[in-house]
Amino acid sequence: MPEVHVYMAEGRTDEQKKNMMVDVTDALVKHLDCPPDAVTVQIIEAKWTEKMKGGRTFAERYADKTPSGYRARLTD
């Protein structure tokens, strides 16, 4: 049965994560013709200091773009 792992930086609300998982489940049900109970969606979160892109951690990438640092970007 389908299983999806979503890797992302921490900071989204539980509601945002649940809504995303529902949408992913719905897409798999629609396109793979499987029952919702057969679908597993798992989120794997990393701290912004433990996720890197382009040689800079997410904390470094966004700290210089907001006055209060990267935490201000968590709701963007």
Residues assigned a catalytic role = 2
pLDDT: is 53 or 62 the higher one?
53
What's the confidence (pLDDT) of residue 66? 54
Q: Where are the domains of the chain?
A: 3-75
**Could you read off the pLDDT of 28-61 as tens digits, one per residue?**
999 999 999 999 999 999 998 999 999 999 888 8
Helix (H/G/I), strand (E/B), else coil: 52: strand
Question: What letter does residue 73 receive in the DSSP assignment?
Answer: G
Task: Using a cut of 0.75, tell me whether the model's pTM lies above it.
Answer: yes
Fold of 3-75: Macrophage Migration Inhibitory Factor (3.30.429)
For residue 62, pLDDT beyond 90: no
Q: How far apart are CA 58 and CA 47, in angstroms?
A: 9
Question: What letter does residue 37 receive in the DSSP assignment?
Answer: G
